[in-house]
């Protein structure tokens, strides 16, 4: 479901982007066509205008010529002189306008217009010359003949221009129609694609928001679960602590009554009953030890927040622990070697002492027969990267590595996880007394101090590696 | 020779809700022949009834014991509360209070001495040990020290 939504989201986003791109390309091409069409229309208009100008200039020349013939006043010749000047330029312009056209017919017409304009100019010159000889007997006849020829040429020019304009007008109509169609199409398609793009973006946006909401919900749920879990854990620890605390009371009384019974009524009981009572007593004692250990173990977690931790000197902690076990150590004739490095670690003095105390007791308990216990503690600083089981965030931190070794009977590496379990024992209580809580307590303390403890492989005895974060 | 004369036997008040414990302590006191008057109350608030001569103790009137043996886990008012209130009342705060409890928690020990407890004794689990503890209480509090 989630994967599908994501795929759909990506697809609609991609579609929206593609649509936007096509809008760009399409708009560019349409605009270019529209501009081309507009240029063509403007061109046609220019041709129409210029051809009309040619005719009008030719008329101007004719008007000037008529005035002069009638009056012989040279001022009438001014429009004629101007017209002949303009006409050349105008004709060239028309020529250039139609030059690149593929329409051969229009070109031919322009050439004919050229021809008629030249003819007309020649006629006017002849007429002007003839009008200056009024004494010639054929004056009138010549004049009339020349006038007729001029009119004929003019009519022909008119016809040529008309046909030229007719063609251009048709072209203009066609082009305007084309342009209108193009505009309508462009607008329609542009609107359609834009709407589609908006639709796709809205869809993608909707999916995105849904996905974000879903994740927010999930996050909230996760937070709630985590806090529930933490609370349940705390409740459970509290429960274990309170239960073991309260169970101690009746147990203690059972022990007191049974010892009282044995003591006060020894004679009446007889050997057999006394033996059974003693067994009961030692079982009760064992249970009491277990509960006391359980109390210590669960009590570790109830010691408030780790924010109360203070900087402790590792050398001082270890020195104190050794002093506390002076009697035991000297009774066992144990040798303790410690490099006395004053590394600062954040923690609780009592718990750190308990950690070393359990390790020391362990070493003193599991000794090889007829051999002096030899315990050595070496410390050095390493980075998180060099530490096994380090998380990514611990890589830049610095840790104190404590190598705790003895020359005792050692622990088989196949039990490396089991030895840290609560009440886990590798030997019978008859051979080595104890409840199997020591290393579990060690692990708990180290964990509470954000460190790691593990059993290390060694040739002689047992070796524990403990990592504690170095205080700044 | 006892410092307190026979006419003025030391009064020890034991506050404990557990009848078995009261019985065992009484037996231990009798067997050790401790020269004192051992009286019992069954919960925290009864301690104050005893001291002020109220409720159950109205007829006997107010009585100031020379020593209080105080259990921690009691209904109504627990031992810590009782100790706190006794030490806050000028009329009673001179009475030595000995904590006599199952708890062995170092936290409790520290806290209760801080609150003004005179001793902290953990209830032993065999009758022999209990008897020894009671004998020591007798030797120390009744025969050795001067009580107010």
Q: Note the pLDDT of residue B2.
A: 46
Q: Which residues of A20-39 are buried (b: 16+ CB within 10 A; e: fewer)?
A: eeebeeeeeebeebeeebee
Question: Could you tell me which chain B residue has the CA closest to the CA of A281?
Answer: B126
Q: Give the residue from A427, A422, A435, A6 showing the smallest Cα distance to A210.
A: A6
Q: What percent of chain B has pLDDT over 70?
A: 95
CB A347 within 8 A of CB A309: yes
pLDDT tens per residue, range A148-198: 888 888 899 899 889 888 988 988 898 889 888 888 888 888 888 889 888
How far A284 CA lies from chain B's nearest CA (Å)?
10
Query: Is it the case that residue A376 has pLDDT exceeding 90?
Result: yes
B104 with A292: Cβ contact below 8 A: yes
Tokens of A312: 């402790």
Q: Does B105 touch chain A (CB under 8 A)?
A: yes
Average pLDDT, chain A: 87
Q: Does A283 touch chain B (CB under 8 A)?
A: no
B106 with A248: Cβ contact below 8 A: no
Query: Is it the case that residue B39 has pLDDT exceeding 90?
Result: yes
Query: Is it the case that residue A352 has pLDDT exceeding 80?
Result: yes
Q: How far apart are CA B7 and CA B37, in angstroms?
A: 11
Q: Note the pLDDT of residue A472.
A: 76
In sequence order, the β-bridge partners of residue A263 are: none
Res. A102 pLDDT band, cuts 50 70 90: low
Res. B1 pLDDT band, cuts 50 70 90: very low
Torsion of CA B51, B54, B60, B62, to 10 degrees: 30
Q: Does A265 touch chain B (CB under 8 A)?
A: no
Q: What percent of chain A has pLDDT over 90?
A: 24
Per-residue pLDDT, averaged over A315-336, amounts to: 92
Of B73, B103, B130, the CB nearest to A256: B130
Q: Does B24 touch chain A (CB under 8 A)?
A: yes
Q: Does A256 touch chain B (CB under 8 A)?
A: yes
Q: Which domains does chain B have, with CATH numbers?
A: 10-144 (3.40.50.2300)
Question: Could you tell me which chain A residue has the CA closest to the CA of B25?
Answer: A256
Residues of B in contact with A299 (CB under 8 A): 105
Phi-psi region for residue B36, left (φ > 0), alpha (ψ -120 to 50) or beta? beta
Average pLDDT, chain B: 87
Cα atoms found within 13 Å of the Cα of residue A42, Cβ hemisphere only: 6
Of the listed ranges A60-64, A416-420, B131-135, the one predicted with least confidence = A60-64
Topology of domain A305-469 in CATH is Heat Shock Protein 90 (3.30.565)
Q: How far apart are CA A454 and CA A467, in angstroms?
A: 9
CB A250 within 8 A of CB A291: no
Q: Note the pLDDT of residue A127.
A: 83
Per-residue pLDDT, averaged over A43-47, amounts to: 87
Of the listed ranges A6-10, A116-120, A249-253, the one predicted with least confidence = A6-10
Q: Does A296 touch chain B (CB under 8 A)?
A: no
Q: Does A405 touch chain B (CB under 8 A)?
A: no
A256 with B24: Cβ contact below 8 A: yes
Tell me the residue ranges of DSSP E strands in A369-451.
374-383, 398-406
pLDDT tens per residue, range B78-131: 899 999 999 999 999 899 999 999 888 888 899 999 999 999 999 988 888 999
Q: How far apart are CA B100 and CA A320, in angstroms?
A: 29
A249 with B73: Cβ contact below 8 A: yes
CB A98 within 8 A of CB A107: yes
Residues of B in contact with A285 (CB under 8 A): 125
Query: Is it the case that residue B6 has pLDDT exceeding 50?
Result: no
Q: Name the CA radius of gyration of chain B, rounded.
A: 14
Query: Is it the case that residue A103 has pLDDT exceeding 80?
Result: no
Q: Give the residue from A211, A116, A218 showing the smallest Cα distance to A164.
A: A116
Q: Does B103 touch chain A (CB under 8 A)?
A: yes
* Residue A115: φ, ψ to 5°: -60, -45
Q: Note the pLDDT of residue A345.
A: 92
How far A223 CA lies from chain B's nearest CA (Å)?
33
The residue with greater pLDDT, B62 or B148, is B62
Among A252, A285, A350, the residue to mutate for chain B (most B Cβ within 10 A)? A252
Res. A324 pLDDT band, cuts 50 70 90: very high
Q: What percent of chain A has pLDDT over 70?
A: 98
Strands A335-338 and A344-347: unpaired
Query: Is it the case that residue A135 has pLDDT exceeding 60?
Result: yes
Q: Does A301 touch chain B (CB under 8 A)?
A: no
Q: Does B81 touch chain A (CB under 8 A)?
A: no
CB A349 within 8 A of CB A317: yes
CB A341 within 8 A of CB A334: no
CA distances from B142 to B127, B139, B148 (A): 21, 6, 11
């Amino acid at each position: 479901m989630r994967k599908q939504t994501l795929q759909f989201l990506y697809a609609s986003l991609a579609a929206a982007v593609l649509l936007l791109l096509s809008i760009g390309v399409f708009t560019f091409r349409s605009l270019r066509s529209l501009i081309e069409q507009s240029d063509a229309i403007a061109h046609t208009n220019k041709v129409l205008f210029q051809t009309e100008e040619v005719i009008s200039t030719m008329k101007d020349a004719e008007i000037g010529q008529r005035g002069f013939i009638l009056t012989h006043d040279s001022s009438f010749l001014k429009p004629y002189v101007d017209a002949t000047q303009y006409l050349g330029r105008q004709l060239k312009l028309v020529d250039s306008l139609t030059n690149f056209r593929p329409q051969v017919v229009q070109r031919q017409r322009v050439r004919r217009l050229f021809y008629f304009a030249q003819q007309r100019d020649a006629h006017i010159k002849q007429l002007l010359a003839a009008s200056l000889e009024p004494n010639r007997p054929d004056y009138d006849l010549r004049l009339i003949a020349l006038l007729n020829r001029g009119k004929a040429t003019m009519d022909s020019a008119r016809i040529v221009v008309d046909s030229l304009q007719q063609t251009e007008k048709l072209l203009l109509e066609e082009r305007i129609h084309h342009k209108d169609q193009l505009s309508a199409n462009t607008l329609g398609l542009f609107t359609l694609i834009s709407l589609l793009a908006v639709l796709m973006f809205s869809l993608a946006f909707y999916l995105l928001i849904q996905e974000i909401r879903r994740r927010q919900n999930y996050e909230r749920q996760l937070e709630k679960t985590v806090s529930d879990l933490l609370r349940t854990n705390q409740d459970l620890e509290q429960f274990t602590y309170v239960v073991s605390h309260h169970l101690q009371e009746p147990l203690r009384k059972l022990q007191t009554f049974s010892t009282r019974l044995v003591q006060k009524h020894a004679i009446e009981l007889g050997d057999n009953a006394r033996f059974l009572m003693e067994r009961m007593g030692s079982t009760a004692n064992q249970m009491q030890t277990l509960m006391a250990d359980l109390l210590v173990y669960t009590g570790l977690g109830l010691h408030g927040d780790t924010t109360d931790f203070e900087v402790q000197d590792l050398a001082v902690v270890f020195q104190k622990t050794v002093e506390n076990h002076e009697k035991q150590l000297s009774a066992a004739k144990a040798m303790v070697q410690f490099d006395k490095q004053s590394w600062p670690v954040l923690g609780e003095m009592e718990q750190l002492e308990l950690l070393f105390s359990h390790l020391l007791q362990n070493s003193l308990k599991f000794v090889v027969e007829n051999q002096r216990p030899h315990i050595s503690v070496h410390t050095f600083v390493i980075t998180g990267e060099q530490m096994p089981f380090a998380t990514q965030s611990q890589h830049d931190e610095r840790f104190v590595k404590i190598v705790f070794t003895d020359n005792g009977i050692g622990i088989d590496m196949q039990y490396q996880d089991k030895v840290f379990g609560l009440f886990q024992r590798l030997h019978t209580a008859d051979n080595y007394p104890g409840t199997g809580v020591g290393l579990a307590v060690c692990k708990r303390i180290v964990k509470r101090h954000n460190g790691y403890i593990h059993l290390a492989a060694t040739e002689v005895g047992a070796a524990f590696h403990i990592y504690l974060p170095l205080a700044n | 020779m006892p410092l307190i004369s026979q006419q003025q036997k030391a009064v020890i008040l034991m506050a404990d809700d557990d009848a078995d414990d009261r019985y065992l302590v009484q037996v231990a006191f009798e067997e050790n022949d401790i020269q004192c008057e051992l009286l019992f109350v069954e919960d925290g608030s009864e301690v104050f009834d005893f001291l002020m001569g109220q409720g159950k103790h109205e007829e006997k009137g107010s009585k100031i014991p020379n020593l209080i043996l105080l259990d921690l886990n009691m209904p109504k008012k627990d031992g810590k509360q009782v100790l706190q209130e006794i030490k806050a009342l000028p009329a009673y705060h001179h009475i030595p209070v000995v904590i006599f409890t199952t708890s062995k928690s170092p936290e409790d020990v520290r806290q209760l001495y801080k609150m003004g407890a005179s001793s902290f004794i953990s209830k032993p689990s065999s009758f022999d040990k209990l008897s020894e503890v009671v004998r020591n209480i007798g030797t120390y509090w009744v025969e050795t020290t001067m009580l107010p």
